[in-house]
Chain A
């Protein structure tokens, strides 16, 4: 158990809909990262938050948004869903932002499997 909790584990929804994925980081971790894992694109970094503020952006679509709340949990909002958005969405957390400090590593949740039909 990594200590990172993601809910729900599975989500099936229709095209055009909007969903919210939730992530609770490990206790004490300030950074949260979201990744999308699909068969054709592999693991793609979407966005990073550090202590409530957006810190880095990757290949995140404009239809997607995220936020990190004062209690450090994070939500990823996916709207106007398309079939191609079907994927496994991972959240990861780390203490300082990745790379700051010699022993930083990210701990991953079990993921949310999103199926758009």
Chain B
């Protein structure tokens, strides 16, 4: 079945360090891929998305490229800030056109802490 695997946390970085959070997926068909972020005490917010192979999603300095050949969607940021401290979720969006399930399947989340 469809699934998402992302690197376990927590990840602790110093301000201005480079961030990579690995995410790989298993899916049938042509899923869309998402990164969501959850700040403390809040709901999930969409950070970026990619809807087809080789698409690059980007937002707020974060980037991720949809790699079909490696079934990956790794999140990167060149220089993290203290305000980036949050939990990051990789997610796979399946289609329910034609009867298959249409919902988001999430990875377990990676907690990022950025120290000044």
**Residues of chain A having any CB pair with chain B under 8 Å:** 2, 4, 31, 33, 35, 42-43, 45, 48, 55-56, 58, 90, 92, 97-100, 102-111
Question: Out of B96, B104, B107, which one reaches A55, CB within 8 Å?
Answer: B96
| Whole-angstrom distance between the Cβ of B59 and the nearest chain A Cβ | 12
Is there an interface contact between A105 and B94, defined as CB atoms closer than 8 Å?
A: no
| Bound complex: CA A2 to CA B44 (Å) | 9
For residue B17, CB closer than 8 A to chain A, the reply is: no
Contact B108 A2 (CB under 8 A): no
| Cβ B49 vs Cβ A105 within 8 A | yes
Q: How far is the CB of B55 from chain A (nearest CB, A)?
A: 10
Given contacts A42-B108, A45-B105, contact A105 B34 (CB under 8 A): yes
- CB within 8 Å: A-B pair count: 79
A98 touches B43 (CB 8 A): no
- Least CB distance from B109 to A in Å reads 6
Residues of A close to B93: CB separation below 8 A: 98-99, 104-106
Interface residues in chain B, defined as those with a beta carbon under 8 Å from any beta carbon in chain A: 31-32, 34, 36, 42-46, 49, 51-52, 89, 93-97, 101-109
Chain A proximity of B100: nearest CB distance (Å): 8
Instruction: Please state if B95 and A99 are interface contacts (CB–CB under 8 Å).
Output: yes
Separation of A98 and B49 alpha carbons in the complex (Å): 13
Smallest CB separation, B23 vs chain A (Å): 14
* Known A97-B96, A99-B32, A102-B51: A42·B43 in contact at CB below 8 Å: no
| Sample of 26 A–B contacts (CB below 8 Å) | A2-B43, A4-B43, A31-B102, A42-B106, A42-B108, A43-B89, A45-B104, A45-B105, A45-B106, A48-B101, A55-B102, A56-B101, A56-B102, A98-B95, A98-B103, A99-B95, A99-B96, A100-B96, A100-B97, A102-B32, A102-B51, A102-B52, A103-B51, A104-B93, A105-B46, A110-B43
Q: Which residues of B contact A98 (CB under 8 A)?
A: 93-96, 102-104
Complex: A31 Cα to B102 Cα, angstroms: 10
